Amino acid sequence: MRIALFGPPGAGKGTQAALLVKRLGLAHISTGNIIRAAIKQDSPAGAEARAYVREGRLVPGKLVRKMAEDAIADHGYDNFVIDGYPRTTEQANWLEGFLESHGRPLEHVLSLYLPDAIIIERLSRRRIHRETGENFHLDFKPPPADVPADMILQRSDDRPEAIQRRLDVYREQTHPLEDHFRRHGLLVRIDAVGSVEEVHERIKSVITGNLVNER
Ligand code: AMP
């Protein structure tokens, strides 16, 4: 199973990917997580990416392409959910070409959609675990009481100016990908308003339908 999760920041891509990992045993490939890890390690790629991420802009495509392709290869080109990549038409062409060249074309692109007001509320209330990267929401999924307060951070790009920039970038560069994937017969839109479990059920019904068809 080869799935790309697509949608604006705050749509719940990371949360849903984590559930797919837990329940269906897929590997999670998140270019955002890979980039944040590179920044933390201060690797050359991380140093190059740092300012872009902080400001909510897209990191240069070639840098992300290598990270995504290396991660897909590490997972044997199959049984993964990729989130945060592709974000531009150029990246979509790279990803599709890369997977096709390994005989493992993309099977689903699930586009999570929700109103801007909910996106802004979710992102401004989001916190992450400094070490594990796990996501929390101060109201709906607060960090457990035994996690020390200094382990819980707000992402630098979850601050209001960066949120606005990321939404603009999404609208201008990433949203047009919906049409691209629709033309390729891969796109399924998923209503991302609701509880984590409700959204997971919507995703699962799409994926399970495919599994039944494959047998
Ligand atoms: P995310 O965790 O997916 O929201 O990604 C966080 C940040 O990492 C983005 O705002 C970008 O700066 C960078 N990033 C992640 N994935 C990509 C990508 N596919 N292309 C360019 N930049 C990316």
What CATH number corresponds to the domain at position 170? Answer: 3.40.50.300
Q: 166-187 burial, b if ≥16 CB within 10 A, otherwise e?
A: bbebbeebbbebbebbeeeebb
Asked if residue 16 belongs to a domain, the reply is yes
What pLDDT, on a 0 to 100 scale, did the predictor assign at position 215? 30
Structural domain tally of the chain?
1
- The pTM for the full model equals 0.86
What pLDDT, on a 0 to 100 scale, did the predictor assign at position 213? 39
CA of 111 to the centre of ligand 1 (A): 16
Nearest atom, ligand 1, residue 53 CA: 12
Asked if residue 49 belongs to a domain, the reply is no
Where residue 4 falls among pLDDT bands split at 50, 70, 90? very high
Asked if residue 48 belongs to a domain, the reply is no
Residue-averaged pLDDT of the chain: 92
Phi, psi of 103 (to 5 degrees): 65, 25
Tens digit of pLDDT for each residue in 66-121? 999 999 999 999 999 999 999 999 999 999 999 999 999 999 999 999 998 999 98
Burial of 204 (0-12, 13-18, 19+ CB in 10 A): middle
Please say whether the beta carbons of 125 and 152 come within 8 A. no
Calculate ∠ Cα 33-36-39, nearest 5°.
150
CA of 146 to the centre of ligand 1 (A): 30
Cβ < 6 Å from ligand 1: which residues? Answer: 9, 31-32, 35, 52-53, 56-59, 64, 84-85, 87, 91, 157, 166
Residue nearest to atom 5 of ligand 1 (CA): 32
Residue type, 17: A
Alpha-carbon dihedral sign for residues 56, 149, 29, 16: negative
Quick one: average pLDDT of 18-39?
Answer: 93
